[in-house]
Amino acid sequence: MSTRRALRRLPLHLAATVTVVVCLFPVYWMITTAFTPNRDIQSAHPRLLPRTWTLDHFRRAVDADGFGLFWRNSLLVTLGTVVLALLVALGASFAVARMRWRGRRQFMLAVFVAQMAPWESLIIPVYIIARDTDMLDRLPTLTLVYFMMTLPFTIVVLRGFLSTIPPELEESAQLDGCTRLSAFRHVALPLLAPGLMATSLFGYITAWNEFAYANFLIIKQQDHRTLPVWLSSFHNVFGTDWGATMAASTLFSLPALVVFLLLQRHVTSGFAAGAVKG
Amino acid sequence: MSVVRERAVRHRPLVPPPRRPPGPARRTTMAGVWPYLLIAPAVLGMLYLLVYPLARAVLISFQDFGLRQLILGDAHVVGFANYRTLLTDPRFWTVVRRTFLFMAVNVVLIMVLSTLVALMIERLGRRWRTAVLSALVLAWAMPVVAATTVFQWLFHSRFGIVNHALTGLGFTSFKDYPWLAHGPAAFAILVALVVWQSVPFAAITLYSALTTVPCDLYEAARLDGASGARIFRSVTLPIVRPLFMLVLSLEVIWTFKAFVQIWVMTRGGPGDATTILPVYAVQTALSQQRYDLGSAASMLTVLLMSGVLVLYFRQMFRQEAEL
């Protein structure tokens, strides 16, 4: 009975295995190449598991010009984006979810539309505006652009989460003598945690990954480049050094991979919520 | 709409409203200047970082705006001249056709594969399901530039594992096959990359939609003697359709705008083989310093995409109406 059942489910499990392998193989190959000595990388017979392991590639990637600097740049821009978007979106979503005012519907409509902003088509004007205001080659410019890229999504998701928290909770805290602000802080904010997590993850991924604006807005000040741009140029400079390139890619992807894996459940439900609601 | 808001702000005194006495039924009457103060940063951000650049892009597309004008700032309006230049250029039309081809191939593959994966996840046991979901999430979390670099490595002509595997399987013509030197091959790699990156999001979203189908509906259908295909068509599909349409239009938009993968991997090459509209716009603007033509190409991209956006907005408005 149970073997027949297992047999019947075999195609299903085969399909699942294929899916897992296809999804993971590039990630796996990146990481193992990063640990494989050069003579094995450049061999006619690549092996699925490296014979010997080495840290040389990582050393070369970390020692490469400005690695620490670009890491710091990316971190600063990402943190700035997430904090700014959360603060601004918290205010806006609170206004939308908890207050009645004229223009509320129109505001939400504008937010929905802004979510579809054609960012790829705005590189040229943003470049020109940044140049005219002396903001070219500066990290705050990137932060502001990424902030705007993530803001609409953040507002939509936070509003969605806020509207599931009954206002009565805050009102009873206010009855107990809290101000509206502290009622919000002590009652609603903790319940909002999953929403905050999903949206900051979204901002984190957007800012950490963004390439086009970082590539075209940071031109003269090479010290202000971010990791994605560095990685693509690293690959060009070290053209044949695939070990170091894969080590650099690993170091660059690891934060995202780890965070996503740890927060898997919130990621999926949060993104689904964001997708459903707008 | 912003006019309405500004007027509303101006007509109200700029003092915080008096602290209201606590009590239920207050939440709807909270009014005054506070909501406008709370949304002000978001509105200002949208105006300065989104509306203003968009207006600038439109303006530039109607101007004679090259390197000289960028430096001296003496651009003047030339009407539709840039659009005329583009629309009469056969290369532009090739790029447009290629953009639609790229989008269609990607979207069909993404939707078919992710639907299959979503249906599969739903049928899996708990442990398998976690394994598949984790694998999807990992592929999804891979940064675009990193994934692009890794794909270059996978398809490396001499040391790439793909060529090695294909040769090992007996396809000896793939020995040292330079994927990125051949137009169609480079195109195929980019499709593979975009599909690999997009399926996780689509599959997970569709799977989460499938889980919202109530179990008793399935049971009732089965009791009525419906076949598997019939159950899918009559029970699953109607419930999943809104989210399916949403994912579909999102994927159309995203693949239409694919830029980073192409720029990092091929810069639109070899020749023009992987140049799609966003790449074309950036090439024209920043490499040839024809900001006017680049902007016009961007605006045409937006216009072409708005056909899809209409679908998306209809969906959104319907949801908005339900809220």
Q: What is the DSSP-derived secondary structure letter of residue A274?
A: H
pTM of the predicted model, to two decimals?
0.85
Residues of chain B above pLDDT 70, percent? 86
pLDDT at A113: 85
More confident residue, B288 or A143: A143
Confidence (pLDDT) at A8: 83
Tell me what pLDDT residue A74 has: 94
Interface test with B, best of A116, A233, A236, A246 (most B CBs within 10 A): A116
Tell me whether A247 touches chain B (CB under 8 Å): no
Task: Express each pLDDT in A37-87 by its tens digit.
Answer: 988 887 777 778 888 888 989 998 888 878 889 999 999 999 999 999 999
Q: Is the minimum CB–CB distance between A181 and chain B shorter than 8 Å?
A: no
**Which of A13, A111, A253 is the closest to B142 by Cβ?**
A253
Structure tokens at A59: 């050393």
pLDDT in tens, A107-153: 999 998 888 888 888 988 998 899 888 888 899 999 999 999 999 99
Confidence band (pLDDT; 50, 70, 90) for B6?
Answer: very low
Mention every residue, 6+ apart, whose C-beta is less than 8 A from residue A145: A126, A213, A217, B49
- Kindly report, residue by residue over A6-31, the tens digit of the pLDDT: 888 889 999 999 999 999 999 999 99
Examine the pLDDT at B61 and tell me if it is beyond 50.
Answer: yes
Residue B215: how many other CB atoms lie within 10 Å: 8
The radius of gyration of chain B's CA atoms, rounded to the nearest angstrom, is 26
Range of weakest confidence among A195-199, A240-244, B43-47, B315-319: B315-319
Q: Do B120 and A23 touch (CB under 8 A)?
A: no
**Highest mean pLDDT pick, A142-156, A223-237, B286-300, B304-318:** A142-156
Looking at residue A177, its pLDDT comes to 82
Contact yes or no for A125 and B138 at CB 8 A: no
pLDDT of residue B214: 80
Residue B135: pLDDT band by 50, 70, 90 thresholds?
Answer: very high
| CB contact (8 A) between residue A24 and residue B139 | yes
- Report whether pLDDT(B9) > 70: no
Round the average pLDDT of chain B to a whole number and report it.
Answer: 84
Q: What is the pLDDT of residue B58?
A: 93
CB contact under 8 A, B145 and A45: no
Do B53 and B61 touch, CB atoms closer than 8 A? no
Residue B3 has pLDDT above 50, yes or no: no
**How much is the pLDDT for B309?**
67
pLDDT at B161 over 60: yes
What is the spatial distance between Cα B142 and Cα B197, in angstroms, rounded to a whole number? 8
pLDDT at residue B102 tops 90: yes
Q: A209 — contact with chain B (CB < 8 Å)?
A: yes
- In this model, does residue B7 exceed pLDDT 70? no
Q: Where are the alpha helices (DSSP H) in B23-63?
A: 34-46, 52-61
Confidence band of B317 (pLDDT split at 50, 70, 90): low
Mean pLDDT of A172-192: 84
Looking at residue A140, its pLDDT comes to: 93
Chain B contact present for A239, CB below 8 A:
no
pLDDT tens track for A238-268: 667 889 889 999 999 998 888 888 877 766 6
Per residue in B189-210, is it b (16+ CB within 10 Å) or e — as a string?
bbbbbbbbbbbbbbbbbbbbbb
Q: What is the pLDDT of residue B95?
A: 95
Q: Span B64-71, mean pLDDT?
A: 83
pLDDT for A111 equals 92
- Omega of the bond prior to B278 within 30 degrees of 0, cis? no
Over residues B110-124, mean pLDDT = 94
- Nearest CB among A27, A94, A268 relative to B204 is that of A268
> How far A14 CA sits from the closest chain B CA (Å)?
11
Chain A segment 81-140 residues within 8 A of B by beta carbon are: 87-89, 91-92, 94-96, 98-104, 106-114, 116-129, 131
Burial (0-12, 13-18, 19+ Cβ within 10 Å), A210: buried
CA quadruple B64, B62, A212, B105: dihedral sign: negative
Of the pLDDT bands very low, low, confident and very high (cuts 50, 70, 90), residue B2 is very low
Give the residue from A93, A100, A121 with the most B CB atoms within 10 Å of its CB, the best one to mutate.
Answer: A121
Over 90: is that where the pLDDT of B92 sits? yes
pLDDT given at position A214:
93
pLDDT band at B26 (very low <50, low <70, confident <90, very high): very low
Both tokens of residue A42? Answer: 């450049």
Chain B contact present for A267, CB below 8 A = yes
Cα A173 from chain centre: 35
Burial B108-144 (b: 16+ CB within 10 A, else e): ebbbebbbebbbbbeebeeebbebbbbbbbbbbbbbb
Enter the ipTM: 0.86
Say what the pLDDT of residue B27 is.
47
* Selected residue with higher pLDDT from A278 and A233: A233
